[in-house]
Amino acid sequence: MDQLIFAGEVFLNGLMTGVMYALVALGFVLIFKASGVFNYAQGVLALFAALTLVGIQQGQIPFAHLINAAFGTSLHHFGWTVPAVLAIALTAGVMVLLAFLIEKLVLKHLVGQEPIILFMATIGLAYFLEGLGDVMWGADIKTLDVGLPQGISDTIETATANWFGYGFFIDRLDIWATVIAAALVAALVAFSQYTKQGRAMRAVADDHQAALSVGISLRFIWVMVWSIAGFVALVAGIMWGTKSGVQFSLSLIALKALPVLMLGGFTSIPGAIVGGLIIGVGEKLFEFLIGPMVGGATENWFAYVLALLFLVFRPQGLFGERIIERV
Amino acid sequence: MIYREAGDFKTSYRSDGQTFPIRLDRWGYYAVLAVAFGVIPFVIDDYWANAVFVPFLIYAIAAIGLNILTGYAGQVSLGTGGFMAVGAYAVYKLMTAFPDISIVIHILLAGGITAAVGVLFGLPSLRIKGFYLAVATLAAQFFLVWLFNKVPWFYNNSASGQITAPTRTVLDQAVTGPTASAPAKYLICLVLAVAVAWMARNLTRGTIGRKWMAIRDMDIAAEIIGVNPLAAKLSAFAVSSFFIGIAGALLFAVYLGAAEVGEAFGINKSFLVLFMIIIGGLGSIFGSFAGAAFLVLLPVLLKNTLVGGFGWPTDLAAHIELMVVGALIVTFLIVEPHGLARLWRLAKDKLRLWPFPH
Amino acid sequence: MKTTVPALAAAVMMAASPVMADLVVPNMSYRTGPYAANGIPYADGFSDYFTLLNERDGGIGGQLIQVPECETAYNTEKGVECYESLKSQNPLVLNPLSTGITYQLIPKASVDDIVLYTPGYGRTSAKNGEVFRWVFNAPANYWDGASVAVSHILEQEGGDLSGKKIALVYHNSAYGKEPIRTLQGLSEKHGFELVELPVDAPGQEQKSQWLQIRREKPDYVIMYAWGVMNQVAIQEAVNIRFPMDKFVGIWWSGSENDVTPAGAGADGYKSLTFHGVGQDYPLYDDLRTHVLDAGKAAGAGDQMGNVIYSRGVYAAVVIAEAIAKAQELAGTSEIDGAQLRDGFEALEITPERMAELGLPDFGQPIALSCQNHGGDGLGRIQQWNAGAGEWSLITDWIEPDAEILQPLVDEDSAAYAQEAGIEPGCN
């Protein structure tokens, strides 16, 4: 009986973790859907966004270390702090600017190339952004606080304690992440269904050539999609960065999104969410039930094995477009 | 004028079928080999061996292995790090269990063991295709790393799980362990790299290579013209993993000397080797060398220029180094999207006419 | 490739122009990569102390100390490159601050006559100097740490741990696995139950482990973590309301970086340390006047007083003392690696000497010999005060349990000696 209640708690926490994974996976899906690019730089984008947010919030001087090294000055901070809401808005602005630059300097020159080449361009981008983030804001760890609550939710603990005799642990940050993810997905769906730009985005995703021929500006759509992906990266960066502080390792959360993508399909927003939930629950339950027998730390590989099991039966991913092969 | 194929007549099937049919190519490669075997071993020092040539050659072997799978047979793999770990742990177990048998045999056996593991994880490729196949190899990557970290038998029950390569010799010259000299380390890597490149070149020119390429271009069409996808895909996994296993064994035994599985053979290694073949050029042996050279030598060169040459702080130099590597990758793509190998081909086309433009 | 080689040659030539006559003590640092947050203060502290010696005393014994820096990014392959490029400058001693790189360098440095000094990390059994002639890991190592932590817990519980449950949360790597055998031995001896909870690197996601801790309610948690795993673990512990004063981290899980992201919740968190905390030592005044205010500080100059910065300073202090001892023994100020090794083996740092250095009660007394390269392995407990934002020492020096540790050290070093074909001995 106890075991069942514990499994219930693990299950719920798996769902919550799945939402966190899905947040990262969402950014990949958006870009893949609109431009067929597997964006390797998505994780670094999240790191860069979080670094920029903290930098703006704390009034850090960008490139201070470079300036100090070149001119022998000792600059660090402007000496002000910016409220969280304003800082988030400014960071979103930076991400739009970045999307614009990426289109202008990289993607524009690679229109019509094969997916593998665009993938490789994003590798280059990842290297560049990692270096840029460090040079701009420094490589030390930074505390991110935009006022999100953390820690166990007392309401749920008391309620479950009354029902089952064991209080469940649910992190309030995870609850917030779920709410924000739901809002984000709703907004994205509404945007792509009901606005002119959203429809244009879907048209581009269907067929670049056809979209161009009816007068849709490919360049505008790309800037837009990368901006949205940058914004999603910012949200993911805030959620993960609140827990761990902002540091290089934040870019590694992209690895957690990979099995989610494989499972959900690269082209489906609901796929990213459902895939995230399945991976989250699956790996947590496996670690809970089987982990102790084999020595633990199974989550990293089990996520992929789980995705693999699903793919053997559905090779295009759960929500991926059906693969039709013709000779 | 400088480079030309015309006027190079063949009078026998044998000469038509040789590894490099064009005379200028052949001479070029002979010259490179002559320098590699005849000059470099006599001038190489520890820094050049350990920081430049040994890693370059080892990564070139790994890149050739992955290129066979991804570039020739079209099967995306992100399990290179895990397969290299199999090679490394296999050679470690063999070295410590049978100290009297030659290390070369151990390295080849380690490649064989890796090939078997590679075939096992290649099985899902019969069902899953494209980017999605990466999940099977990623599962291999993470599972193998976990396994080597978890089971004490693989690291001979040492307290921490680090493995250290003892000294082993080839022709009375130590090639592993701390006393190995720079030329010895360099030569064993070079011999294996040349052998692997030669094998890969001839495999890809022959029947089996054509089958791989048919599968890559469209597997259903290949199946209709009589290529057995099971045999073709699994043989690609086997050959590829064999080479990658050799690279892993060398990386641990000759280059690093000690390794810890998560750090030395993590997912980053898989990505690094994949980057090498994409930058070098998919489906090209030369490209594997070029890509490995690009990603091994460039950071060393940049570091020495920025820190040694300009005296910059090391952290700033490391950050700028990342930016430069990233910017160079993007620039290369914009100039020539098909990798360094394609750039080399274009250069040959130019040389064919030069110095007369028409 | 053909064009890059000559260019590379030119660059390497520029890099490798060794300046003789100065004593070379390289700083293998990592200011980038996943562990940069801890690498930066350590490298700064290490460099700053030698800068102070050069500025204030004109070096050691009249010899200036050169501290060339090489960036490893905590990556073993970059570590190899650094080692080879530093080797051409005739370094006396290396301090790579990475267990992985240390394992790799142990055989190499022994052949190239370079001392490895790995305080608080590296290969624990290097304490046995008869096998590891060139490696020193005084004053304390991972196994000492585990034992000191248990001794502290023992003291908290009034000397009886039978029936208690202690969880070990560890980085699932060579480093994290180090304390397991020690703790298993101690659990047999004291009768407590040990729960092992590995966390895969990097450690962004630890929900399973902390849910398990919440379910099983261990009396204490010991943690061996590094990098982002530290911050996440402390945050998760706060989230499940694990009592912070029953949560003890190893010294690599006890810097300001690790606790500040968790905010006020981390108040009361404990960690081990093998040196003093804060800036309340006369040496820091010297550092401020001669280094920081003179604009000669390494890095951004904003790390002074940080726990890890102090650890960098302490490593430099021990090396400097060993150099002085070696100069005294060799009768010359221009010593080489072998002489420095002798200096280390004859090293004796008394409390009086520490006070003289401007660091009263900062470190434990160190007395090394050929047999003992690891010192006594004493540790102290420090506790985080989130309100004041500072660590404070809450215990005196605690002794590790040699009865458990010595057989483990002997066994592991004997295994290494056999594998590497070393004849243990003192000559």
Q: What is the pLDDT averaged over residues B284-292?
A: 90
pLDDT of residue B318: 83
User: Considering CB atoms only, which of A38, A66, A307 is closest to B131?
Assistant: A38
Tell me which residue in B128, B138, B149 faces A258 most closely, judged by beta carbons.
B138
Q: Which of C235, C216, C218 is nearest to C157 (CA)?
A: C218
Checking if the pLDDT of B251 tops 90, the result is: yes
Q: Kindly report the CA angle at B89 between B175 and C81, in degrees rounded to 5?
A: 50
The reply to whether residue B128 touches residue A311, judged by beta carbons under 8 angstroms, is yes
Q: What's the whole-number mean pLDDT along residues B332-358?
A: 77
- Between CA C232 and CA C209 the distance in angstroms is 11
Burial call C329-357: b when 16+ CB within 10 Å, e when fewer: ebeebebebbbbbbbbbbbebeeeebeeb
Surface of C (133-192) touching B: CB under 8 A? 172-175, 177-178, 181
Return the pLDDT at C12.
Answer: 45
* Chain C, window 249-268: residues with a beta carbon less than 8 angstroms from a chain B beta carbon: none
Q: Is the pLDDT of residue B235 over 50?
A: yes
Assess whether pLDDT exceeds 50 at residue C91. yes
| pLDDT band at B245; cut points 50, 70, 90 | very high
Q: Residue B78 has what DSSP assignment?
A: -
pLDDT attached to residue C14: 43
Chain A neighbours (≥3 Cβ pairs under 8 A) are B, C
pLDDT confidence of residue C175: 86
Q: Output the pLDDT for position A249.
A: 83
The alpha carbon of residue B273 is apart from the nearest alpha carbon of chain C, in Å, by: 14
Residues in chain B: 358
Contact check, Cβ <8 Å, C173/B51: no
- pTM of the full predicted structure? 0.90
Smallest Cβ distance to A131: which of B146, B149, B320? B320
Give the Cα separation of B91 and B85 in Å (integer).
10
Residue A277, pLDDT above cutoff 60: yes
CB contact under 8 Å between A128 and B316, yes or no, is: no
**C-alpha–C-alpha distance, residues B178 and B194, integer Å:** 25
Cβ contact B186:B41 at 8 Å: yes
More confident call, C301 vs C143: C143
- All residues of chain B having their beta carbon less than 8 Å from the beta carbon of residue A311 are 124, 127-128, 132, 135-136
pLDDT (average), residues B248-269: 89
* Residue C233, pLDDT above cutoff 70: yes
pLDDT score of C222: 94
At A152, the pLDDT band (50, 70, 90 cuts) reads: confident
pLDDT of residue C5: 46
Q: What is the DSSP letter of C125?
A: G
Q: Tell me which of A54-63, B105-114, B311-320, C148-157 is least confident.
A: B311-320
Query: Is the pLDDT score of A234 beyond 50?
Result: yes
Q: Residue A298: which of C253, C209, C218, C213 has the closest Cα?
A: C209
Q: How confident is the model at residue C7 (pLDDT cuts 50, 70, 90)?
A: very low
Q: What is the pLDDT at residue B357?
A: 64
CB contact under 8 A, C108 and B257: yes
What is the tens place of the pLDDT at every residue in A100-118?
999 888 888 887 777 778 8
Cis peptide before B355 (omega within 30 of 0): yes
Mutate to test the interface with C, among A23, A249, A252, A302 (most CBs of C within 10 A): A249
Q: Each residue of A204-225: pLDDT tens digit?
A: 877 778 888 888 888 888 899 8
- A7-49 pLDDT, tens per residue? 888 899 999 889 989 988 988 888 888 777 888 899 999 999 9
Report the pLDDT value the prediction gives residue B2, as an integer from 0 to 100. Answer: 65
Give me the percent of chain B exceeding a pLDDT of 90.
30
Q: What pLDDT was estimated at residue C427?
A: 67
* Res A233: pLDDT: 92
User: How many CB pairs below 8 A link A and C?
Assistant: 120
Which pLDDT value is given to residue A327?
66
How many residue pairs from chains A and B have C-beta atoms closer than 8 A? 140
For A46, A101, A137, C203, the CA distances from A133, given in Å and listed in that order, are: 11, 15, 6, 22
Output the six-digit token pair for A276: 């995230």
Q: Please answer yes or no on whether C412 and B307 come within 8 Å at the CB atom.
A: no
Whether pLDDT at C419 is above 70: yes
User: Would the pLDDT of B337 be above 80?
Assistant: no
Q: What is the pLDDT of residues B188-222, one digit of tens each?
A: 999 999 999 999 998 988 899 999 999 888 888 88
Those residues with Cβ within 8 angstroms of residue C173's Cβ, 6 or more apart along the chain or in another chain? B149, B161, B260, B262, B263, C201
Among A143, A249, A284, beta carbon nearest to C208: A284
Contact A121 B333 (CB under 8 A): yes
pLDDT of residue A114: 79
Q: Nearest CA to C260 among C391, C143, C168?
A: C391
Task: Tell whether B298 is within 8 A of chain A (Cβ).
Answer: no
- Interacting residues of C240 by C-beta distance below 8 A, sequence separation 6+: A152, A169, C210, C211, C213, C214
Residue B62: pLDDT band by 50, 70, 90 thresholds? very high
Pairing relation of β-strands C348-349 and C366-367?
Answer: antiparallel
Select from A236, B150, B314, A139 the least CA-distant residue to C228: A139
pLDDT exceeds cutoff 50 at C8: no
Q: Which of A97-101, B301-305, C106-110, C210-214 has the lowest mean pLDDT?
A: B301-305
Find the closest chain B residue to A297 by CA distance. Answer: B146
CB B162 within 8 A of CB B155: yes
For tokens 């991400």, what's the residue? A95
Mutation site for C-interface testing, chosen from B142, B160, B296, B343 by largest number of C Cβ within 10 Å: B160
* Per-chain mean pLDDT for chain A: 86
Taking residues C154-163, what's their average pLDDT? Answer: 88
Give percent above pLDDT 90 in chain C: 37
What is the value of ipTM here, to two decimals? 0.88
Which residue in chain C has the smallest CA separation from B92?
Answer: C419
Whether the pLDDT of residue B275 is over 80: the answer is yes
Predicted local distance difference test score (pLDDT) of residue A281: 92
Report which of residues C76 and B349 the model is more confident about: C76
Q: Does C315 or A158 have the greater pLDDT score?
A: C315
- In angstroms, the CA A29 to CA A39 distance is 9
- What value does the mean pLDDT of chain C take? 87
Question: Is A143 a residue whose pLDDT tops 90?
Answer: no
DSSP bridge pairs for B50: none
